[in-house]
Amino acid sequence: MKWCNTCEKECEDVLDVCPTCGESLSDVLKTEHDFDDMVSGDYEALTHIKDNVEANVFISYLNANGIETYVHYENEGPYKALLTEPGTEGTLILVSSNQLEDAKVLMEAFEYDHES
């Protein structure tokens, strides 16, 4: 199987591009350690959205307005069937620390059902 390291989606070997986000696929999924480094580094959590489609629209909106994002899809990948507890689904959206305040302003102007 191939992996999208942008949205962490598992894809068929015959694909070269992720059908969800259009990014190039890799034979290796980035590790959870990479995510931990990103969260503790120059990125801060902006919001969590339960619906991945809605999250993708919001991420596109942020990117179109010059906000650098890092996305952690919590219900994608090979173990998504094991995620049965409430709160284990959705998308965590992080933004560059120096753009956090601008991202919050954009988030207020964007109408969607976010949790935080």
25 and 71 in a single domain? The answer is no
User: Torsion-angle region of residue 81: left (phi > 0), alpha (psi -120 to 50) or beta?
Assistant: alpha
2 and 47 in a single domain? The answer is no
Contact 82, 14 (CB under 8 A): no
Q: What tokens were used for 41?
A: 């580094």
14 and 50 in a single domain? The answer is no
Taking only the tens place, the pLDDT of each residue in 6-46 is 777 778 888 888 888 888 887 766 544 455 555 555 888 88
Rounded to whole angstroms, how far apart are CA atoms 96 and 103? 9
56 and 14 in a single domain? The answer is no
Write 25-30 long-range contacts (CB < 8 A, 24+). 26/2, 27/2, 27/3, 28/3, 29/3, 29/5, 29/77, 30/5
89 and 54 in a single domain? The answer is yes
pLDDT over threshold 60, residue 95: yes
pLDDT at 100: 92
26 and 49 in a single domain? The answer is no
**Can you give the residue range of the structural domain that contains 72?**
42-116
pLDDT at 11: 81
15 and 52 in a single domain? The answer is no
Domain count, the chain: 2
20 and 49 in a single domain? The answer is no
